[in-house]
Structures are given as C-alpha cells and as structure tokens.
C-alpha cells in the first residue's frame, strides 16, 4: 500500500474533510465533536459512553486532527523534496538527451559515410567483375569478327580463282588481271604473294582458332562473396592499429624481429617448464580516442591479452566464462573516453567480455605468452598488422 493508505493520521484527515456533511450523529442527533481513533470515525458524546466504543481511544476532533496535520506537513515536505529532485533529474536528462541528439546526428552521418564507402567499394568491385566478364565475351565476339573477315577474304579469292579456271582461252591463265574480275597469273609475283608459301598454298586458317564457349571468373564464379569480403578487409578504414612489442629484457621471452610476436624461448625439457613471466607491453601508449587491435592466439593452451594501466595494488577477481569454441584471434577495443575495454572473438566479431577501467593514465597493450608447458605452449602471440 501507499503512504496514504498506511498512515492513520491521514485517514483522520480524510474523515475531517467530510465532516461538514455529517456534523450531527444520525443515531443520537448530537453534534459529532469527538473522533474514535480505534474505529477511525466521528462520534458524539453519547456514542463515546456506549457499549460499541467501550475501551476505545477517543479524542476531540481538534486533538485528533493535530498529528494528522503534522503528518501532512511532513508528507508535503517529503513530496516537495522529491519534486525538486525530479525537476533536477528531468533537467539533467533533458540536457543529456540534447547531447545524445547531437552525438546521434554525428554518428548517423558517420554510419552513412562508412556504409557509403562500403557500398561504393562493392559497386566498383561489381562493375569491375562484370567488365571482366564483358571483356571475355568481347574477345569471343572479336575472334568471331576475325573469322568472318577471313571467310570473306577466302570467299572472294575463291570466286576469283573460279572465274579464272572457267576461262576457255588458255592464254587467259597467263594474263595479269588487276581488276576485281580477274586474278594474277600463276607465275606472277602477286599470285605467289597471295596464295603460295614455302610448303605449298598459303593458309588463311592456320593462325586462327576458336575461343572456347565456357566463360570462367575463377574463384569469383563459385566463392564471390568470400573473396570480395577478403579483399574488402584491406580497403575498409580504420584498420587495426599497428603496434610493436617492447623488449623487456626477459631471458625466457623471445620477440620476433618485426616486433609483432612474443613467445617463450625454446629450452630443455624439464628446465623451468612452468616458468611464468608477467609478459610484455607495446612501445606505443594511448590515452585518448578509440582504439582497436587484433591478436592472433592460435591454438595456444595458456596466454593473456589485455590493457596495462598504472594502478595501486592488486584487486582483480577472476571471472569464469564459457565461450564455446576457444577463439583463435582476439579483438581488443578500448574506448578511452568512456573508459571501456571490450574483448571480441575477432573471427565472428562476437563480444566475449566488456570491462570498465577508471584509470586515465597512458595505457598500452599487455601480452603474455603463458607457461612453456614443456614446449606444448611455445606458439607465439602475434599482433595482427593490416
């Protein structure tokens, strides 16, 4: 129930509000000057001494109303305080909504621009692949045109030779005809040039071939979405930031020459096989903005990836999580402004865990390749560079 339902004094107030309508006792026709606290009703002097109200707490109306008024004043002060608090909260919420609307407009513009860039990339890629297909088809059409031109040449020569063969005058075979209805004689240079080669007659077909009818686009034909997606990974921005690992001088750890990988050094079996190191950090630090990296953990049995911040004491509490299949690549997103760190399965881009970090000091990536485990955990941790 509410405060109004539970406070007897306020019930008295309710009774008093209706007093003008019942100032006379309907039973004894006496003025109702008393209030029975026990029964929460108005009574007259005769009712007070009757059996019905024997042993009840009965007060004059004014005395009964006094604590009621005090309760009302306290309730009013309480509600006034809550009203002020709500007004402040409404004002603050309105201000936050205004900020959110401005931020929302910026984010909507950014989202539209980012998706437009993706759309443009896909549209250009689609156009390029279709152009490639049209070029292959065009090559076939071009080859057909060459074949048809050769056929016309052969047909024309065939007609000329036929007309020459059909001449009745043998001397006609020796005449050199330069017009369209004649042909060079068999002994002339023109005839040798046009029809003879070292091995006999000059072929008009030998250097030609038929372009196969089957068109192919290679992997685009069967795996187009996958290959376009892989190519698009190198075109989207922002890409994971490049970071290099700082050499901490730990004799048990080995950093790759490019500064992107860290692993346990090889050692003899049984020698410090479970030695542990706090790991390494990146040379570059960050304090503002939003950052994203990916770390390839492969099939390692033991490793850690995180953000290093300067903090007094150690109060971390391990959190057990069921992530299903162990991730092979960890995405690390740090929003410095919101002091938020999120870990992703970088292959599926699903969130593994999100934590908040109150430190505002410069931070860096922290990597630990884990225990050596007799060589079973010797694979490196690698910061992916795109």
At 46-73, the pLDDT tens digits run: 898 888 888 898 888 888 888 878 888 9
Establish if 298 belongs to a structural domain.
Answer: yes
Mean pLDDT of 259-286: 70
Please report whether residue 187 resides in a domain: no
- Structural domain containing residue 276: 253-311+323-383
pLDDT (0 to 100) of residue 319: 77
| Cα separation, 199 vs 171, whole angstroms | 27
Cβ-based neighbour number of residue 266 at 10 Å: 9
The token pair at 330 is 């960890």
Q: Is the pTM of this model over 0.75?
A: no
Of the two residues 93 and 184, the one the predictor is more confident about is 93
pLDDT for residue 375: 83
CA angle 375, 379, 381 (to 5 degrees): 140
More confident residue, 375 or 298: 298
Longest dimension (CA), the chain: 165
Provide the pLDDT for residue 19. Answer: 47
pLDDT at residue 314, rounded to an integer: 56
Q: Look at residue 351 and tell me if it is in a domain.
A: yes
- pLDDT for residue 1 is more than 50: no
The pLDDT, as a whole number, for residue 198 is 54
Q: Does 157 map to a domain?
A: no
**Mean pLDDT throughout 295-305?**
90
Cβ–Cβ under 8 Å, residues 343 and 292:
no
* Amino acid 365: pLDDT: 84
For Cα atoms 190, 196, 198, give the angle at the middle one, nearest 5 degrees: 130
CA–CA separation, 380 and 386 (whole Å) = 18
Residue 172 in any domain: the answer is: no
Query: What's the rounded mean pLDDT across residues 304-325?
Result: 73
pLDDT tens digits, 69-98:
888 899 999 999 999 999 999 999 999 999
What phi and psi, each to the nearest 5 degrees, are found at residue 180?
Answer: -70, -20
> What is the domain count for the chain?
1
Radius of gyration of the chain (CA): 48
91-114 as b/e: b if 16+ CB within 10 A:
eeeeeeeeeeeeeeeeeeeeeeee
User: Is the preceding omega at residue 238 within 30 degrees of 0, hence cis?
Assistant: yes
Q: 101-147, pLDDT tens digit by residue?
A: 998 998 999 899 988 988 999 999 999 888 888 888 888 889 899 89
Q: What average pLDDT score do residues 267-283 get? A: 63
Integer angstrom CA distances of residue 352 from 83, 254, 320, 322, 328:
42, 28, 11, 9, 13
Summary mean pLDDT of the chain = 78
Q: Single out the residue of 223, 260, 255 nearest to residue 244, CA to CA.
A: 260
Q: Residue 338: CB partners within 8 Å, gap ≥ 6?
A: none
Q: How far apart are CA 91 and CA 95, in angstroms?
A: 6
CATH classification at residue 299: 2.60.120.920
What distance in Å separates the CA atoms of residue 334 and residue 345, rounded to the nearest whole number?
15
Residue 191 lies in a domain: no
End-to-end alpha carbon distance in the chain: 63
Query: Measured between alpha carbons, how far is 101 from 106 in angstroms, rounded to an integer?
Result: 9
Cα–Cα distance for residue pair 87/104, rounded to 1 Å: 25
Mean pLDDT (whole number) for 271-285: 65
Segment 170-187 shows an average pLDDT of: 51
Q: Would you say residue 370 lies in a domain?
A: yes
Q: Residue 18 has which token pair?
A: 């209706």
Strand order in the sheet with 41-43: 41-43, 34-36, 58-60
Least confident of 31-35, 312-316, 372-376: 312-316
Res. 5 pLDDT band, cuts 50 70 90: very low
Of the two residues 68 and 200, the one the predictor is more confident about is: 68
**Low-confidence winner among 115-119, 209-213, 329-333 (lowest mean pLDDT):** 209-213
Would 306 be classed as within a structural domain? yes
What are residue 104's phi and psi, to 5 degrees?
-60, -40
Question: Does 16 have pLDDT greater than 60?
Answer: no
- Helix, strand, or coil (residue 236): coil
Query: How many whole angstroms separate alpha carbon 257 and alpha carbon 265?
Result: 14
Token pair of 167, please? 């001449």
């Amino acid at each position: 129930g509410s405060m109004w339902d539970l406070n007897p004094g306020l019930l008295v107030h309710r009774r008093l509000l209706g007093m003008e309508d019942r100032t006379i006792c309907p039973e004894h026709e006496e003025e109702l000057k008393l209030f029975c606290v026990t029964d929460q009703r108005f009574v007259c002097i005769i009712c007070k001494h009757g059996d019905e109200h024997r042993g009840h707490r009965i007060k004059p109306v004014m005395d009964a109303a006094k604590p009621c008024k005090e309760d009302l004043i306290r309730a009013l002060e309480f509600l006034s305080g809550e009203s002020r608090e709500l007004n402040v909260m409404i004002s603050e919420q309105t201000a936050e909504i205004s900020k959110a609307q401005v931020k929302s407009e910026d984010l909507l513009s950014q989202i539209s621009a980012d998706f437009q860039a993706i759309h443009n990339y896909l549209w250009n890629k689609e156009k390029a692949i279709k152009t490639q297909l049209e070029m292959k088809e065009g090559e076939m059409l071009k080859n057909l045109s060459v074949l048809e031109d050769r056929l016309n040449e052969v047909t024309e020569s065939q007609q000329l030779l036929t007309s020459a063969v059909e001449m009745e005058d043998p001397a006609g075979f020796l005449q050199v005809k330069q017009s369209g209805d004649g042909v060079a004689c068999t002994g002339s240079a023109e005839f040798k040039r046009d029809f003879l080669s070292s091995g006999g007659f000059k072929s008009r077909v030998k250097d030609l071939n038929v372009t196969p009818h089957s068109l192919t686009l290679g992997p685009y034909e069967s795996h187009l979405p996958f290959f376009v997606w892989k190519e698009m990974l190198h075109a989207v921005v922002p890409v994971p930031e490049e970071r290099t690992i700082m050499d901490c001088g730990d004799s048990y750890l080995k950093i790759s020459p490019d500064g992107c990988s860290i692993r346990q050094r090889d050692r003899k079996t049984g020698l410090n096989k479970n030695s542990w190191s706090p790991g390494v950090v990146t040379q570059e630090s960050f304090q503002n903005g939003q950052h994203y990296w990916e770390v390839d953990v492969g099939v390692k049995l033991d490793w850690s990836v995180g953000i290093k911040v300067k903090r007094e004491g150690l109060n971390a509490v391990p959190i057990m999580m069921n992530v299903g299949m162990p991730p092979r690549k960890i995405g690390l997103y740090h929003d410095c402004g919101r002091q938020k760190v999120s870990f992703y399965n970088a292959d599926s881009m699903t969130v593994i865990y999100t934590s908040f970090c109150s430190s505002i000091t410069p931070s860096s990536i922290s990597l630990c390749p884990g225990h050596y485990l007799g060589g079973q955990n010797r694979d490196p941790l690698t910061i992916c560079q795109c």
